[in-house]
Amino acid sequence: MKNHLCLLILLLGSTVPGLSQANPAYLSEGHTDLGIFYSPAGTNRLSMKAEDDDHGVSYAPSQVVLVASQDARFDLPPGTPFGNEGDPLWILPQSQYPGWLYLGLSTETITPGTFNGPLTYTLKSLDLPGRMSTNVTERFYVWQAGQFGDFNVFMNSADGLTAADAIALPAGAHAHYNWGFSTSGLWHVTFQVSGRVAGETTNTASTNITFAFHVLPLRPFEQWQATNWLPATPRSIIGPTADPDGDGTPNLVEYALGMNPTNASAAGLPTASIVATNGQRYGALTYTHVKSATDVTCEVVAASSLTAPNWQPLTTVHSVEDLGDRERITVRDNLPLNAASQRFYQLRVRLP
């Protein structure tokens, strides 16, 4: 079932401890560079940080979110290599404008002569971890605009990622580019940086380094992810189907029901009951839905066997209780208790 998650009401929590987090920096305007840093000692000699040049602060990838505002959305004119005319593209521009993030690349912390030749940024992978699918069809570009209206494209995910999706800069350099995203959302953009240290015969390369971009507006589930985990935390932890606290409940279900994804617990799971209507008794399932989780749908289904090929949607809402920021909903079965020897219920949570 590619577009939804199922939750049986008999799931139980575990005692796996929760995760910790800190408040990241959100950089949405001003001069920022993704800088390369070199340390002669250790196993990971090359690394990257986001350098807030306006305030003289550097941030590790887990400490910073790079923001493209809603104003950065443009409709493409004809004749660009970035999509069809009228397609949207969110652009962080290579020229500086007040109120916009001015994002560049920098090797200024590295003394010329430390490396033989340039240092290279290579685009390794893209992910939108707030989406169900890991197949990223959305497009990402890095380019410079020429003085005659031409496009010098360095990174282009539309034709697949290869070693050609790279930018080389000499040590002690600094340059700015246009950064393009074909959709809004939470993006994880992963680079590797490499270079040949002077006197060595092979290249030194960093581990894969991921930065989180918030291309606004975020969907509510993506905002929930950003609230609960550090920037650039991988899909294996924050993705819709992940279960980082090990309590058997996927993140998407915890989000919809208002549970804590970093604290293993069964509290908040749906509960079964028996309700009476018009002299008949019915099985029912009660769940709590967070009102702000507007990008998911919840559906109760029933079957007479766990191996039944066709679970039937239940559409009869027995009651709705307003709890302020959430509501408690009870959905009853279509069959009365005396019409079936046993019944099983699921809550299905869908993220379109």
pLDDT digits (tens, 9 = 90+) for 254-273: 999 999 999 999 999 999 99
Closest CA to 297 of 279, 284, 315, 312: 315
Q: Can you tell me the distance from the alpha carbon of 292 to that of 46, in angstroms, rounded to the nearest whole number?
A: 42
User: Looking at residue 21, what is its pLDDT?
Assistant: 54
Q: Dihedral of the CA atoms 177, 181, 182, 185 (nearest 10)?
A: -170
The pLDDT assigned to 15 comes to 34
pLDDT score recorded for residue 22: 62
CA distance linking residue 169 with residue 193, whole number of Å: 11
Provide the H-helix boundaries in 160-261: 220-228, 235-238, 251-257
Q: Report residue 309's pLDDT band, with 50, 70 and 90 as the boundaries.
A: confident
- Average pLDDT of the chain is 93
pLDDT on residue 6: 46
At residue 342, the pLDDT reads 92
pLDDT at 27: 98
Q: Examine the pLDDT at 1 and tell me if it is beyond 70.
A: no
CA-to-CA distance for 318 and 97, rounded, in angstroms?
A: 55
In eight-state DSSP terms, residue 157 is G
From CA 281, how far away is CA 274, in angstroms rounded?
7
User: Which tokens sit at 282?
Assistant: 């019915």
What the chain holds in terms of domains, given with CATH numbers, is: 4-16+268-350 (2.60.40.10), 25-235 (2.60.40)
pLDDT above 80 (res 183) = yes
pLDDT in tens, 2-56: 344 444 443 333 333 334 456 899 999 999 999 999 999 888 999 999 999 999 9
pLDDT in tens, 75-121: 999 999 999 999 999 999 999 999 999 999 999 999 999 999 999 99
Q: What is the mean pLDDT of residues 143-158?
A: 91
Higher per-residue pLDDT: 310 or 258: 258
217-261 confidence digits (pLDDT tens): 999 999 999 999 999 999 999 999 999 999 999 999 999 999 999
Closest CA to 69 of 101, 97, 103, 98: 101
Residue 145 backbone dihedrals phi, psi, to 5 degrees: -95, 130
Instruction: Kindly indicate the confidence band of residue 181, based on its pLDDT and cuts at 50, 70 and 90.
Output: very high
* Residue 16 host element (H or E): none
Q: What letter would DSSP give residue 211? A: E
